[in-house]
Amino acid sequence: MNKKLLIILLLGITMSGLITKLFAISNDANASTELKQREIFFTGAKLIFSMPENFSSDFPAEDLVTQVNLKDPTFKTRTSHLLLRRWWDFTEKSFLFDKQMGTIMMSITTHYSETSFSNRLDLIKIIHKKLDAEYTESNKTTSSHFQIAYPETYESFKEKLYNEHRWLSYIIAPMNASQATLTFVAPLTTQHYLEISFTLLPSSKINTREFEDNISREFLDNIMNSVFLKYENKAFQKELGLDINAIDIDDLLLEKQE
């Protein structure tokens, strides 16, 4: 091989490596950012969780509510109370350009139910009734493309286990799949429950499925793996079937039908 050909080959290999690095996209997702711990104190319970601090500059947020008196009469007149709402932006970066991937919004909300619940199935019925009232009528007057799909049977609710605590989870999303909200639910009392929700808002450059698989799944798991819900009444978690040893929802349904 002559020297001229060898030099051309070496230059080609070098340029190929540079181009690969130039266009290599590194995910600048906030999932890799250090998490900072937060606490919310409820009547009879405490929520501990962590989240990244590099919030979106486009969405100013109010301070986190850290003290919640569930015995306050306003819980009966205003059944939902927002405690936290934060946004994070996600970008894939290269040396040449930044690709906007989308935004994730996290919300923490408490809800009051006039009907008390003694197990997870009762709570599912209460949540479903709330969702049904919220979306059924509006869907009737909305274009099918923008109608909201939400859990209509108990099978649409899943269970997720974080730190030996069972969380009910469900998804709501418009039919056009332009976004999706994943919600995790846990009781605080027999008439109050907590929701931690993540709304996925992908940019027009990618679809919701790609955004969920490549970005949001890791981000959500990082936060939810930091969550601890501790009750003053140690027996409460076991009584409602929320601990790691509780039977699955399917088995609980069969048990109630017998």
Please give the domain boundaries of the chain with CATH numbers for all domains: 25-257 (3.40.1000)
- CA separation for the pair 202, 235 (Å, rounded): 41
By DSSP bridging, strand 80-93 and strand 26-27 are antiparallel
Beta bridge partners of 12: none
Task: Tell me how far apart the alpha carbons of residues 16 and 45 are, in angstroms, rounded to a whole number.
Answer: 58
pLDDT in tens, 214-251: 888 899 999 999 999 999 998 998 888 888 888 888 77
pTM of the model: 0.84
**Confidence band of 192 (pLDDT split at 50, 70, 90):** very high
Region of residue 200 (phi > 0: left; psi between -120 and 50: alpha; otherwise: beta)? beta
Rg of the Cα trace of the chain? 23
The terminus-to-terminus CA distance of the chain in angstroms comes to 83
| Higher per-residue pLDDT: 9 or 163 | 163
**What 3-state class would DSSP assign to 204?**
coil
- 88-114 confidence digits (pLDDT tens): 999 877 666 677 889 999 999 999 999
Q: How far apart are CA 117 and CA 126, in angstroms?
A: 8
Distances (CA, A) of 223 to 87, 106, 138: 13, 10, 32
Q: CB burial class (10 A; 0-12, 13-18, 19+) of residue 258?
A: exposed
